[in-house]
Amino acid sequence: MRVVVVGAGFGGIAAAAELLRNGMDDVTLLEAAPEPGGTWFHNRYPGAACDVPSHLYSYSFAQRASWTRLFSHRDEILRYARETADALGITPRIVTDTLVTSCVWDDTDRTWTVRSRRAGVAEERVADAVVLATGQLDKPAFAAVEGMEDFRGHGFHSARWDEGYDLRGKRVAVIGTGASAAQLVPEIAPVVGHLTVFQRTGNWFLPRRDRPMPAALDRVLRRPWARRAWRQLIYHALELITLCVRHPRTAGRVGALVSGAHMRRQLPDPELRRKVWPDYPFGCKRVLLSSDFLPSLRRPDVELVTERIVRMTAEGPLTEDGRVHEVDCVIHATGFRTNVFMLPMEVRGTGGVSIADAWADGPRAHLGIMVSGFPSLFLMYGPNTNTSGGSILFFLEAQAAYVRRALELARRSGAVALDVRPEVEETGLEAVRARFAGTAWQACSSWYRTRDGRNVANWPGYMGEYARRTRRPLPAEFTFLQAR
């Protein structure tokens, strides 16, 4: 079985690890970047770190004896990804600098043709199965304001940090106050001359007491049983965030109280507090885990602007109150184009149907993994598999195991490929959509949702439910395709 995995971030590495461990060793990973690591390769802004504790933001099958911090920073996570890929024999199978342009199913041969470009040269590979592990957060998005090109200063996106630009003493604007801004603002505030933070919507915060791993805890966690118990503890603590999102009138109110107390403690000034305070239920947007973002807004050289940016001028952003905020540099911490997933990559399934057409009403996939009409094509971190509270790595492992089991199912049935039945995909999707009713996710606009309000990013339940739902692909759910 020839398997091509597109993307060598945590999703691609999880898929390759699972396949290799189970004897499927014809695996090639194609990575657009010069190095593996995915989002952790690209996001190198100051303060880039994970807000999921290290022991759960790591694979269950590659547990480290020791982490340097409770919440790992970017460099350590990237190192961990590389070490894991090395240890499991994945690294030699990664082809970097390779941008996949199309994956096309051949109805006659019942194989996939994967086309890519490497150093300007077109390449082609034939595969029996394709795993698209391109992630949801890989295409930077910019604020939809006019005149961006008019700005005469410097500018870059948080996920494409310009390490060659010296921020020291500069007048800097940060547009956006999401998870990335919450991490980078406290880091750059003491360095720049003046910082203006543009906030469109406030956020709920919970503390993130990031610190070096306490020596005593580190000693205890060197024992595998203790590590397993610690992971379980973190896992259940994070499921509580999902509980809050799922039940905004009960658990969600408790979440808002805890968050509100943390925010009040950090913002004694009532005026600043009023500006920052969110106007939607706890958990509708991602709850930000930070103990240093709000205090950094209290600095005399930091200004929080909540007036809307109406356009960009040559000098800087012009806000609705008529003020031009003159700056030397604009940092766009404005997130990602999330709802397009692997598009604009061309993906064509049976009958030459493109996935863009199959998704005309929005991205959809059975358990976020398989799309009917696209045999033996699998998505990692596909539609409706993001989490507001848990660890994405937990989801990726469940998906990797599902891919492997589905391929084994095909092989056992003597088939060369398998396609999820359309009615199975539809029934599953209806169940997923129904589970969003009454949750906090539906109470505001966010990157999780399409323009018409459907949440196509998030799994509507708990991590445990996802693991149970994906545990066993059933033969009745698929059409098996035999060799012609």
Residues in contact with ligand NAP by CB under 6 A are 49-52, 137, 143, 145, 158, 175-181, 183, 198, 200-201, 285-286, 309, 333-336, 447
Could you tell me the two tokens for 264?
Answer: 């009040």
Give whole-number Cα distances, 115 to 99, 127, 253, 348, in Å.
9, 11, 50, 12
Residue 27 vs 77, nearer CB to ligand NAP: 77
Distance separating alpha carbons of residues 310 and 323, to the nearest angstrom: 10
Residue 157 vs 171, nearer CB to ligand NAP: 157
Q: In the complex, what is the shortest distance from the CB of residue 187 to ligand NAP, in angstroms, rounded to a whole number?
A: 13
List the beta bridge partners of residue 116.
Answer: 100, 123
Angle between the N-to-C axes of helices 224-246 and 463-470, in degrees from 0 to 180, rounded to the nearest 10: 100
Residue 20 vs 457, nearer CB to ligand NAP: 457
Residue 353 vs 443, nearer CB to ligand NAP: 443
Residue 436 vs 448, nearer CB to ligand NAP: 448
Q: In the complex, what is the shortest distance from the CB of residue 180 to ligand NAP, in angstroms, rounded to a whole number?
A: 3
Handedness of CA 48, 52, 56, 57 (dihedral sign): negative
Residue 112 vs 151, nearer CB to ligand NAP: 151
Q: In the complex, what is the shortest distance from the CB of residue 104 to ligand NAP, in angstroms, rounded to a whole number?
A: 31
Residue 317 vs 373, nearer CB to ligand NAP: 317
Q: In the complex, what is the shortest distance from the CB of residue 452 to ligand NAP, in angstroms, rounded to a whole number?
A: 17
Collapsing DSSP to helix, strand or coil, 479 comes out as strand
Q: In the complex, what is the shortest distance from the CB of residue 197 to ligand NAP, in angstroms, rounded to a whole number?
A: 10
List the beta bridge partners of residue 324.
Answer: 318
Distance separating alpha carbons of residues 102 and 122, to the nearest angstrom: 11
Q: In the complex, what is the shortest distance from the CB of residue 196 to ligand NAP, in angstroms, rounded to a whole number?
A: 11
Residue 111 vs 180, nearer CB to ligand NAP: 180
Distance separating alpha carbons of residues 224 and 232, to the nearest angstrom: 12
Instruction: Return the beta strands (E) in 55-96 as ranges.
Output: 94-95
Q: Strand 194-198 vs strand 302-305: parallel, antiparallel, or unpaired?
A: parallel
DSSP string, 405-428: HHHHHHHHTT-SEEEE-HHHHHHH
Residue 10 vs 336, nearer CB to ligand NAP: 336
Residue 54 gets which letter from DSSP?
A: T
Q: In the complex, what is the shortest distance from the CB of residue 253 to ligand NAP, in angstroms, rounded to a whole number?
A: 22
Residue 3 vs 309, nearer CB to ligand NAP: 309
Q: What is the identity of the amino acid at 322?
A: G
Collapsing DSSP to helix, strand or coil, 19 comes out as helix
Cis peptide, bond prior to residue 344, ω within 30 of zero? yes
What are the two backbone dihedrals, phi and then psi, of residue 359, each rounded to the nearest 5 degrees?
Answer: -105, 25
Q: In the complex, what is the shortest distance from the CB of residue 58 to ligand NAP, in angstroms, rounded to a whole number?
A: 13
Q: Strand 121-127 vs strand 111-118: parallel, antiparallel, or unpaired?
A: antiparallel
Collapsing DSSP to helix, strand or coil, 228 comes out as helix
Q: In the complex, what is the shortest distance from the CB of residue 460 to ligand NAP, in angstroms, rounded to a whole number?
A: 16
Q: In the complex, what is the shortest distance from the CB of residue 178 to ligand NAP, in angstroms, rounded to a whole number?
A: 2
Instruction: Specify whether the CB–CB gap between 18 and 380 falls below 8 A.
Output: no
Residue 3 vs 48, nearer CB to ligand NAP: 48
Distance separating alpha carbons of residues 324 and 448, to the nearest angstrom: 32
Q: In the complex, what is the shortest distance from the CB of residue 457 to ligand NAP, in angstroms, rounded to a whole number?
A: 9
List the beta bridge partners of residue 458.
Answer: 386
> CB count, 10 Å around CB of 322?
8
